[in-house]
Chain A
Amino acid sequence: DTEVTQTPKHLVMGMTNKKSLKCEQHMGHRAMYWYKQKAKKPPELMFVYSYEKLSINESVPSRFSPECPNSSLLNLHLHALQPEDSALYLCASSTWTGRGYRAVGEAFFGQGTRLTVV
């Protein structure tokens, strides 16, 4: 199984809503990522979790709150978003361990959640 599964595929939310994006993988990867991608742009890294600990936060606004409950699951909690936050949100995982080990694996991506903030 080389799949990263993201739910939902599409999400429309108001600026006062609270919603969550979910990402799941069963490849035994211990690094998981959230990327944001605007139309016709490359993905931009938001967060990295390594061994269920947050290892990178790319200065993302606090209205985005990541959570890694276990090694297979990654959530992104959304609250009080702005219309400019509308984008494709991609989850990825890799075999990179981040604990003194060399980066050994490519990142596997999910299909993304298309988020629209109204």
Chain B
Amino acid sequence: AQTVTQSQPEMSVQEAETVTLSCTYDTSESDYYLFWYKQPPSRQMILVIRQEAYKQQNATENRFSVNFQKAAKSFSLKISDSQLGDAAMYFCAYRSGGLFGNEKLTFGTGTRLTIIP
């Protein structure tokens, strides 16, 4: 079974600064997808960024980028120019790229990010 580990329960960063959230995962599969989701106090899970394991290039979405190290099974999220609206719980998630029966999205335990004005 796949596992996802987020070793930082809480992080804080000054507004406009850069912060990196860590995520490691364990899998024996070669085909999979990784995601970062954000859950603000409003409760809705919002996709921040996705990475396909077969792509070597790190994904980027505006101020959000990842450092995907497949051999090390590491998938960290970098938030540049942090804004107050970035305050939320961030979950790293794994999904198998295999065939039927592998629709499960496995989440890490989350990192609560606080933005300091």
Contacts and interface: CB of A to CB of B under 8 A. Distances in A.
A111 interface: yes
A99 B70 CA distance: 27
Given A102-B97, A103-B96, A108-B47, A45 B104 contact: yes
A64 B26 CA distance: 31
B47 A42 contact: no
Interface string A1-37: 0000000000000000000000000000001010000
Nearest to B95: A103
Chain B: interface size category: 20 to 34
B71 interface: no
B96 A42 contact: no
Interface string B45-69: 1110010000000000000000000
B25 interface: no
A41 B45 contact: no
A40 B89 CA distance: 9
Nearest to A4: B44
Interface residues of A, number: 30
Contacts of A108: 47
A106 B97 CA distance: 11
B97 A98 contact: no
B21 to A, nearest CB: 14
Given A106-B35, A112-B43, A98 B104 contact: no
Given A100-B99, A106-B47, A45 B105 contact: yes
A106 B99 CA distance: 16
B63 to A, nearest CB: 19
Interface string A32-53: 0100000011110100101000
Interface of A: 31, 33, 40-43, 45, 48, 50, 55-56, 88, 90, 92, 94, 96, 98-103, 106-112, 114
